[in-house]
A and B are shown apart, each in its own frame.
Chain A
Amino acid sequence: MDDILGSLSLSLIVGLFVKGLLVLTTLLSLVTVRQASLMDKVLNVPIGNWFKTLAWGFFFVSLILTIGIVLIV
């Protein structure tokens, strides 16, 4: 037990914490995609597709960054 605790460092804990939050952010971005789609359904405006594109772009950026951080850090 002491060995485990001794091996813990601030960087390790913060790193794990950040990774978890990044995954959470990615999930939220996916929800945002769905949300933008539903909003566009409720109110269909000419630039609604742009918002959907924005949401999808955010999701993919989040996904890529999350994967990168989780694998590298």
Chain B
Amino acid sequence: MSGRGLLVLLFLFAPAFAFGGVGALALFVALVAGGRGADVGRVLGECAAGAIGRGLAGAAHGIRLREAPERLGRATPGQRCGAQLGGRFENFVQRGGDGRSFGKEAFDRGPAFRTFLPFCQAVGQDGIQGSDLCLEVGQVGGCHREAGGRDLPVEGLIGRGIEVPPELAVLNLELGPSGTMGEAPDLPGEVPHRSFGIVTEFLAHGNAPPWRVHQQKSLKGPRQECFLGGDSGNNSLKRCICQDYRVMRRGSILIRMIESRYMPEVFSKSGKSKSPPSTDLRVVSEVKRMVDEGYCEPPWRSLAAMPPGTKFEAQNDDEKVLLLMRKHPVTNLWWIGLTAVLFGLPLFWGEFPLIASVTPMVGLALAVFWYLGLAFFVIQNLLLWFYNVYIVTDERIIDVDFFGLLYKNVNAMQIRKIEDVNYSQVGMFSSIFNYGNVVIQTAAEQRSADRTEEASAFTFEAVPNPDRVVKVIGELMEQEEKEEYEGRTK
């Protein structure tokens, strides 16, 4: 082979080598992704906060893991009533505080099955054994005065990641007969700092009650999939508490968190004293609707409302992620298609004389490199798609852009600095799949400082349902203005 031929070979294939990828690994990646995705989706997709409500309904069981009287303030741990109403559950834990009243009306709504089982406030240094986990499940449905009328710090019911070790799953939850509570032994292990949570499901495990599995499989549709305890026919309780829960693994206790902002409305009529709404209790109706429609799961969806367990860099303590967006999956078609083509290209290498003339071992090395490069290409695009996100919180909007391996650009802006929001949908695909660009303009508008050449530093590119995104931001702007007017701006 002449030197010129070699040069031609190198020039022809070097770019392909540089950007190509390798199939075996890509296939492996795809398989792994599919398997894990299915698994995670199976578990996380069961956004079924109502399971316990309905599941416990009629079960006439009570569970109490541990009580912490000193943490409960005016509440009386373990106090319950309504056992005679068997089938109606009110699971609650109360702690002292200056929160909203958890009053009579909240309980008068029965026969609602409320599943209201928060943990005590994160005292967590000493873990569960330090009695910060005060978790009760008892029948108090229809019990007004006994259970109601005590202050419940609703504001404190903020969903954070609750990490419950798998050991919890092997607790011998002693299910007492109707109207009684079983005592569980001390919980083993250390549990990190935690906030409130709501336990809504117990996966079948060991002595766990059989209703769990049944409910898990029977729940479908957003209405059943996430709600605060459900309403058993009357639609008085519509708040969806499909937030911030973690599934530890099969056989463990499924912890679902509760978002504070949704609580006050549920129990808003119950306050003896109404505290003025604060900025951290912003309720965006559009976001709630989206949550009700199941937009919270799974975590890789391109438009997630109140995505559970999602945090970002530089997030404030009391800042809540309302929307998490990334580009519509359709925008990935180009590299998926290219990968498919490149994946099969080695089959035709024999048609190229230069490649055909190399020894089999070198051909093998070439193929290995080809597929490794292809895998690299796939992983890069997957990462860039997944982590190039746009975040709307109750305080700010954040645009996170990654470019290649070593460049990132993060823009953040307060809601109050937004001047205008609009969106555009251009092209056939965007119309068919309903995605578009949301452009957020500020007073001091400038082009993006990054490499995107966007119309604004805050352009949410190709996000699904741009109209709803605009609506959410619009609502936030309105609330911001209102709070500013009332002097309650943070």
Contacts of B357 in A (CB 8 A): 10-11
Quote the shortest CB–CB distance from A55 to chain B (angstroms).
Answer: 7
Q: Is the interface of B mostly helix, strand, loop or mixed?
A: helix
B402 near A39: Cβ-Cβ < 8 Å: yes
Q: Given A11-B358, A22-B368, A46-B246, are A35 and B405 also a contact pair (CB < 8 Å)?
A: yes
> For this complex, into which size category does the number of interface residues on chain A fall?
35 or more
Tell me the number of A-to-B contacts counted with CB atoms below 8 Å. 127
Give the total of B residues in contact with A, Cβ under 8 Å: 54
Bound Cα distance from A30 to B387, whole angstroms: 18
From residue B391, how far is it (CB to closest CB) to chain A in Å? 8
Can you list, as one digit per residue, whether each of B1-44 has a CB less than 8 Å from chain A (1) or not (0)? 10001100110000001100000010011001100100010001
Are the C-beta atoms of A42 and B362 separated by less than 8 Å? no
- In the complex with contacts A43-B313, A58-B379, A62-B372, A18-B405 CB distance below 8 A: no
Chain A residue, CB-CB nearest to B355: A14
B365 within 8 A of A: yes
Q: Tell me which residues from 352 to 383 in chain B have a Cβ below 8 Å from any Cβ of chain A.
A: 354, 357-359, 361-362, 364-366, 368-369, 372-373, 375-376, 379-380, 382-383
- The yes or no answer to B211 lying at the interface (CB within 8 A) is no
B410 within 8 A of A: yes
Chain A residues within CB distance 8 Å of chain B: 9-11, 13-15, 17-19, 21-22, 25, 28-29, 31-32, 35-36, 38-47, 50-51, 54-55, 57-58, 61-62, 65, 69, 72-73
- Asked whether, in the complex, the Cβ of B309 is within 8 Å of the Cβ of A45, the reply is yes
Contacts of B359 in A (CB 8 A): 11, 15
7 contacts between A and B (CB under 8 A): A10-B354, A10-B357, A32-B379, A42-B313, A47-B299, A54-B29, A73-B361
- Is the CB of B300 closer than 8 A to any CB of chain A? yes
Task: Report the minimum CB–CB distance from A10 to chain B (whole Å).
Answer: 4
**What's the nearest-Cβ distance from chain A to residue B306, in Å?**
13
Contact A10-B309, Cβ < 8 Å, known A58-B25, A65-B372, A73-B365: no
